[in-house]
Structures are given as C-alpha cells and as structure tokens.
Chains A and B, each alone.
Chain A
C-alpha cells in the first residue's frame, strides 16, 4: 500500500487517541513527580522540586543507582569480550553452524525470565559451584539475557562490512589472522557494536525478574529499590521512575543517532 501524502481526519484522530493512551501513564508519573500534593483535581495545585532533591539526598537511591550501573557495565563488557571473537569465528569460519546458533540465541526469548531464574537457582544453590545470591550468578544470567541483542548486532555489523572479503584481503597482504581481526575488522564493525552494546545496557537497566529472584534480598538495583519505595512515598518513587525513563530515553536517542549514521555510511 502506498502511503498517501495526507492522512484522513479519521486516521489522524485515531492516532491522536492512541498516542494519548500511550503517553498518559508517562505524563501522570511526570506530573506526580513535580506535584506537592495531587488529589481530586485534574492537575496538581502546587508544584515542587523537593522530590527530586530528596532523591539525590537519598543514600540508598544513590547506592542502588551505582549498583545497577556497575552490574550492567560488567555484564555488557563481559559479553563484548566473549561475544566478539565468538560471533566472528562463527560468521567467518563456521557459517554452517549459523542456523543452530540462531536457535540458541533465540532461546532466551522463548524462555521467560522466571523460568530461567528457577533453573539458575537450582543449578547454583548447591553442589560444586555455590554462587546463589551473589553478583556472579546475576552477571551470568544477564549475559544470557542480552545474548540475542549482542549476537544479532555483532553478526549484522560483520555482514554489513563484508567481513569475509575484508579478511581475505588483509591476509593476502600478509596480515596474521589475529592482527587482521584487531586492526581491520574491529574498527569497521565498531559503530554497530556500540549500538547493540547500548541497547543491551538499557535492557539490563530495566531488568527486574532475574534480579529480584536471584539476588533480591542481597543486592539492590534501581528496579528493586523502586518497588520498595513505591509503597512508602509515591512522589519520590515517581521522581525516580521519571528520571529512569529520561535516562533510558536519552540512551535510545543516542542509539538512534548512531544507528542512522551507520545506515547512512555503510550498508551492504
């Protein structure tokens, strides 16, 4: 169907309705975060910044933010270090394994977080490796959770820059395989890899199931902290929720910019 230059009034109203529906919860959270008190009126009567101020004076919040940040960072870095060579080897040397890999990579989708958590707890709460409730287990679980994003991202970048041809050219010129990977392939796929890294980061930042079930009592990430705070102070919680959302929004805007630049530059 070809898109028309101008959509009819019916479609415009429909879209307006949809956008209102989708943005309303966001808007409400935003207003609530700035409202001094908000009861039985369409808009809050008085406004304040005190919830945001309170948020940044809250040691537990800052702790949770920091915990979330470094856990995500470690997981994403680990994933990069492990996935880059692995996807490289599979795409270049073992293309026959690709369809099998697709199945493996899609698995984290088909298996919900709750189910994955059950298996992880069973495997690691006793026996030779007892790491239940520790950050190690969580990082392992995070690795699997972002597997689809990382695999797809790296693989697509490799295909986009025609890594096979690049590599054979480099080897023809006498570069060792390892050297070719580091000096020729890596710099070329870097933009695409950054995009999937940031995406993975934002996914992990919003992760709740695995965190709550695996380390809920011991480690507080921003999501866990939010649940606890929800029942105490609604205004403070909405300030946190909105800050979280704005952060994720900024991240995805950077993502989109990068993605666009990539598509404009190299596209196979």
Chain B
C-alpha cells in the first residue's frame, strides 16, 4: 500500500490541482473573493475570442471529416491486402504519424510555403489554379491538419471493416443488390458507430493541436489553442483568468468529443457481441488503439 503514496501525491499535484485551479480561476473574481461569470461573459461578448472558438471548431470539423473520408476509403482498401502487406502498410502510415507538430509544419513550409518547392514550380509551369493558395491561411491549416488526421483515422477504422463479412456481401448480391446498395444499407450502418467514435477522437485531436499551428502561423492566426497559449505564457498580454476561462471552454469541447467516442465504442461493442466476432481488436476501445497511435504529439 505504501507504493501508492508517491503516485497519489504526484497525480494530485500535477493532474487534479491544476485542473481545479483552472476551473476556480475562471469563475473567481480577480481579487480572489466571490464568484463571477464575468470572464465567460466577456468571451461571449468579444468578437475576437468568439472568432477564435469558431475558427478552431470549423478547422477541427473540416479536418476530421476530410481525414475520416480518406481514412475510410484507405481502411477499406487496406483490408483487401494480404495480412503481411497490410501490416507493412499500416506500419508505414503509423511511422509518418511520428512526423507531427513542429517538423510537420516545417515540411509543409518547404513544400508549399511562400518559397516552397511546389509553390515555385507551379508558378514556373504557370498553373494558376494554385496561385491563390496560401499555406498560412485557413485552407493551408486544414491541409496540414488533415495530414496528421489520416493515419490516425486509418488506424482506428480498419479493424471495423473486419466486422463486415464477405458472406453478407454475397448474400446481398444474390438478392440483387448492387455493391453501392450493399454499402449504403448494410456496410455503412454497421460502420457508423466506429465512424462517429473516430470522429470524436479526431475532433478532440484537432481542437487541442497547438504545435502545428504555432509553428506554421505563430500568433497570426486566430485559433483557440493559440489564443490560450499567448494569454497564459504571456507573449503580449497576461490575463490568466481569461486564459483559464478559454481553456475550460476548450476542455469542454474535447471532453464532449471524447464522451461521444465512449458512447460509440459501447455501441460498436454491442454490434460485435451480436455477431460474435473473433477479432479481439474489435473489442479494444478506440482509446486503447489511440494509445498505440499517438495524436498530434505535442
């Protein structure tokens, strides 16, 4: 029992105390007396901060949806390969997920930044379609975010495809269903819990992403995570209370996304128990698999 003491102390000191302090900080008056919702009210009234919240949510939704679309197609494709090839492909895509955060932003600057290789090449070749593209803008951020969402989506989604049996597909086609009809009425509904669960994780991952955006646009783009960072570590102004309130808002959105994931994992488990799948990986929660995947990493 003595072995637990240091563990409990560290968890209390570095996990729970900070969260508590953040929560109370966001609802306590500056002089430390009395309860107030002023900070939340001022955030809601401030066009600037609301814009940051909106930008973050939009970028997260966009990058998650695009990421999941690519991930879904790739995941299906990857299950069509022999296991040995499949594992190698998964390993390769997992390897690229180490390439996140600062180095990733940097790689995209080399490729598509103001003096990026492709930017200059396209200019030389006269491809004006890409002339308006700006890496340091909303589209650029979504592009980079999608990059770190795809391997994650792939890794989380591909086991679900093993829940759809070939026999079902054969049965459907014997009854006259086209492949499209099969996927629309049987395949996708079965995948739905996994898709929404993964969407939750991707959303939380993008909402909390800081390193990529920081390295790419610095403080110039209005994102929630970036705003919190500059408010609290004090690049320009220092308003810890406001920062706390913003941080609570951010934590609430990611928490909601994670709860969505949890619910969906339960539903997916319901599916798999009904069909008594052999795949043990099906029963692993998405979080367990997320542990193996790593998120934006930093």
Contacts and interface: CB of A to CB of B under 8 A. Distances in A.
* Most chain B beta-carbon neighbours within 10 Å: one of A28, A141, A149, A237: A28
B280 to A, nearest CB: 11
Contacts, number: 265
Contacts of A23: 92, 96
B4 to A, nearest CB: 5
B99 interface: yes
Give the interface centre of B19, B102, B104 by most chain A CB atoms within 10 Å: B102
B92 A119 contact: no
Contacts of B214: 208, 212, 227
A223 B99 CA distance: 12
Contact of B251 (A83, A104, A112): A112
A110 B232 CA distance: 20
Given A3-B82, A28-B110, A213-B232, 15 more contacts: A7-B77, A8-B80, A18-B93, A22-B96, A26-B96, A26-B107, A28-B111, A42-B121, A85-B2, A109-B290, A118-B247, A121-B232, A206-B101, A208-B211, A241-B103
Given A104-B11, A114-B247, A227-B215, A203 B294 contact: yes
A112 B77 CA distance: 32
16 contacts: A1-B161, A1-B165, A14-B74, A21-B147, A22-B93, A28-B117, A29-B103, A82-B7, A89-B1, A89-B3, A111-B19, A111-B254, A112-B208, A112-B225, A208-B211, A237-B106
A106 B80 CA distance: 33
- Interface footprint category on B: 35 or more
Interface string A53-74: 0000000000000000000000
B99 A26 contact: yes
B193 interface: no
A39 B21 contact: no
Interface residues of A, number: 87
B244 A86 contact: no
A208 B226 CA distance: 13
List 5 A-B pairs, minimum CB-CB distance, nearest first.
Answer: A112-B208, A119-B18, A85-B3, A86-B7, A25-B107
A54 B145 CA distance: 31
A18 B108 CA distance: 17
Given A26-B107, A234-B110, A238-B106, A19 B250 contact: no
Nearest to B168: A1
Given A114-B210, A140-B10, A237-B106, A108 B15 contact: yes
A15 interface: yes
Given A26-B99, A85-B3, A86-B6, A40 B80 contact: no
B36 to A, nearest CB: 16
A1 B232 contact: no
A7 B81 CA distance: 5
Contacts of B83: 3
A152 B294 CA distance: 14
A158 B86 CA distance: 30
Interface of A: 1-8, 11, 14-15, 18-19, 21-26, 28-29, 32, 38-42, 81-83, 85-86, 88-90, 93, 104, 106-123, 140-141, 143-144, 147-149, 152, 202-203, 206-209, 212-214, 216, 223, 226-227, 230, 234, 237-238, 241, 244-245, 248-249, 252, 256
Contacts of B98: 202, 206, 245, 248-249, 252
A11 B81 contact: yes
A72 to B, nearest CB: 13
Contacts of B79: 1, 3
A143 B89 CA distance: 32
Interface string B177-203: 000000000000000000000000000
Contacts of A90: 4
A214 B3 CA distance: 29
A135 to B, nearest CB: 14
B298 A118 contact: no
Contacts of B85: 7
B21 A122 contact: yes
Interface in B69-85: 70, 73-74, 77-83, 85
B18 A14 contact: no
Contact of B107 (A28, A93, A227): A28
A108 B14 CA distance: 11
B76 to A, nearest CB: 8
A5 B86 CA distance: 11
A104 B78 contact: no
B92 A1 contact: no
A122 B32 CA distance: 13
B111 A24 contact: yes
A110 B255 contact: yes
Contact of A82 (B6, B211, B251): B6
A203 B101 CA distance: 12
A123 B17 contact: yes
Interface in B118-136: 120-121, 123-124
Nearest to A29: B107
From B8, B243, B255, B291, residue with most partner A Cβ within 10 Å: B291
Nearest to A43: B117
A38 B120 CA distance: 10
